[in-house]
Structure 1
Amino acid sequence: MTWRGLAGALEAAADLVLPRSCAGCGAAATRWCPGCAASLADPPPARVLADGTSVWSAARYEGVVRDAVNAWKDRDRADVTDVLAHAVATAYAGSGLAAAALVPVPSTAAARRRRGRAPVDDLSRRVVRGLRRGGADIGLWPVLRVRRRLADQSGLTAAARAVNVHAALHVPAAVAARTRGATVVLVDDVVTSGATLVEAARALRAAGADVSGAVTLATTERHRRGASG
């Protein structure tokens, strides 16, 4: 039996013990159903953040997309990472951006401990892998670090989010030489007020990088107009 065949057999056996359901709608016997796949086929227009950074997202953060993102991040649905990464790679390819590397927005230490992983890092690796398979010459540079404790962003206003993340990210001197003069694109899961992406772009620019834009899995509609943080 080939490795691919063995992997398929093991996956089928696992399904007998722990049947999968769609991460978006909960439909039985599939990780990602055709109906939910259609929700990733109509990406929203790019939005521009307060600092001028343009963001391209694969989908709107609503309905089954919201449910799938939350399941992927917080309910052990890492099995749909490839599906979500393909959507982000498609958003990147359609953006017209060209970068030396993608830079993931880092998770806080508390979030890593709670989840046991860093979903955006995982997502970014799969995105880069997919882009390379398509012929793109692009790297993955996880160079951003969180320098202090942050409050949970959920429930905060746009202004409070901006204050919370202000000067919270940096590029360590040991890796800053890599980014100096390089064109990079940020990657995050969901853009709401935009405060985290603005801070990430600031930190990269302070290290000499040219941040040409950002790509995310989803964007919230309520912050699309006049985002200030």
Structure 2
Amino acid sequence: MERFTAHPPLVRTPGPRPALAVLAALLLGDRCAACGRSGPRLCRRCAAGIGARAHRCRHRPGCPPVWAAGYHRGLDRVLLLEFKERGARGLAAPLGARLAAAAAAAAGPRPGVLLVPVPARPGALRRRGYDPVALLAHAAARAPAARGHRVAPLLVHRRRVADQVGLDRAGRRANLTGALAVRAGPAGVPGRARGGAVRGAPVVVVDDVVTTGATLAEAARALRAAGARVVGGAVLSERR
């Protein structure tokens, strides 16, 4: 079995490479993020190595039914880390297409469901310079599997939360309870937002990874409090 590494070595090419070409490669990404081969950010061989069928996640307390495109291990984990932590934004399209399959499974036969991304914490947003889950949600909405679903950035952080890494299930729930709210619309009226009316709208909550389910549970709580009908959740990978 071929090994994939999070930091593939650069392939040496004969002769000196112009500085502009090197800079373009760094900015645009002319190597596969998984195996390091020259080409797109995800080559065909590696794309074929990740599953295309979404699976139903095990139940987490407080969560709606959640579907995942894969498990948080192997190539799935490598690609997500490259996209989320190492600035490989070119992976948004192929990862978004996988997320679209999970979102379609979560939405069921309903067309035009609102895909509501879990918002990045302000500190993480400043550090990365972009919101990875929002990018994934928009890429998923453009995929053929989306069936008219559209992105609605309805959620905002209403207070500071600690980093979830290292917290157990109880700690994550305590950290996140009451942390999210639906953004106020015109004249500060809750229940109206940039995607139109929230009340009664079918919603699928979108995130990158589900671990204990505390984040998805808090997002669902905030949306239900505003009158939304949360029909499911969709993530790229499930951590077990």
Normalised-by-shorter TM-score class: 0.7 to 0.9
Indicate the residue corresponding to 1:171 in structure 2: 182
Say which SS state the counterpart of residue 204 (structure 2) adopts.
strand
In 2, Cα distance between equivalents of 1:71 and 1:217: 14
In 1, Cα distance between equivalents of 2:198 and 2:164: 28
Indicate the residue corresponding to 1:36 in structure 2: 46
Indicate the residue corresponding to 2:30 in structure 1: 20
Indicate the residue corresponding to 1:227 in structure 2: none
| Pair 1:67-2:78 in alignment | yes
Matching residue within 165, 185, 208 for 2:204: 185
| Pair 1:143-2:162 in alignment | no
Q: 1:139 to 1:16 in 2, by over 3 A?
A: closer
Tell me the CA shift for residue 32 of structure 1: 1.4
Matches within 5 A, 1:8-157: 17-18=25-26, 20-24=30-34, 26-30=35-39, 31-37=41-47, 38-95=49-106, 96=108, 98=110, 100-131=113-144, 136-157=147-168
Deviations, residues 189-226 of structure 1 (Å, cap 9, x unaligned): 111111000000000000000000010111102xxxxx
TM-score w.r.t. structure 1 length?
A: 0.82
Q: Which runs of 5+ in 2 are unaligned?
A: 1-20
2:56 partner letter: P
Q: Is the 8 A contact 1:55 1:215 kept in 2?
A: yes
| Pair 1:196-2:215 in alignment | yes
Q: 1:135 to 1:220 in 2, by over 3 A?
A: closer
Q: 1:117 to 1:52 in 2, by over 3 A?
A: closer
Q: 1:100 to 1:42 in 2, by over 3 A?
A: closer
Indicate the residue corresponding to 2:169 in structure 1: 158
Q: 1:55 to 1:97 in 2, by over 3 A?
A: farther
Q: Is the 8 A contact 2:201 2:228 kept in 1?
A: yes
Percent identity reads 40
- Number of residue equivalences: 206
Say which SS state the counterpart of residue 165 (structure 2) adopts.
coil
When Rg is computed on C-alpha atoms for both structures, the one with the higher figure is: 2
Q: 1:110 to 1:161 in 2, by over 3 A?
A: same
In 2, Cα distance between equivalents of 1:168 and 1:215: 20
Q: Is the 8 A contact 2:113 2:203 kept in 1?
A: yes
Q: 1:135 to 1:164 in 2, by over 3 A?
A: closer
Deviations, residues 98-129 of structure 1 (Å, cap 9, x unaligned): 25311010001101000000011111111112
Q: Is the 8 A contact 1:176 1:207 kept in 2?
A: yes
Q: Which moved more, 1:200-209 or 1:163-172?
A: 163-172
RMSD between aligned residues: 2.1
Tell me the CA shift for residue 76 of structure 1: 1.0
1:29 partner letter: S
TM-score w.r.t. structure 2 length?
A: 0.79
In 1, Cα distance between equivalents of 2:74 and 2:168: 22
Tell me the CA shift for residue 74 of structure 1: 1.0
Q: Which runs of 5+ in 1 are unaligned?
A: 1-12, 222-229
Q: Which moved more, 1:55-64 or 1:92-101?
A: 92-101
